[in-house]
Amino acid sequence: EPEVTQTPSHQVTQMGQEVILRCVPISNHLYFYWYRQILGQKVEFLVSFYNNEISEKSEIFDDQFSVERPDGSNFTLKIRSTKLEDSAMYFCASSGGMDEQFFGPGTRLTVL
Could you list the residues that contact another protein (CB under 8 A)?
A: 4, 31-33, 35, 42-45, 48-50, 55-56, 58, 91, 93, 95, 98-106, 108
Residue 49: Cβ within 10 Å count: 22
Strand partners, 68: 76
Query: Judged by CB, which is closer to another protein: 13, or 101?
Result: 101
Q: How far is the CB of 18 from another protein (least distance, A)?
A: 24
- Report whether the peptide linkage leading into residue 2 is cis, meaning its omega lies within 30 degrees of zero: no
Pick from 82, 98, 52, 28: which is nearest to 90 by CA? Answer: 82
Q: How far is the CB of 68 from another protein (least distance, A)?
A: 15
Query: Judged by CB, which is closer to another protein: 14, or 99?
Result: 99
Query: Judged by CB, which is closer to another protein: 62, or 99?
Result: 99
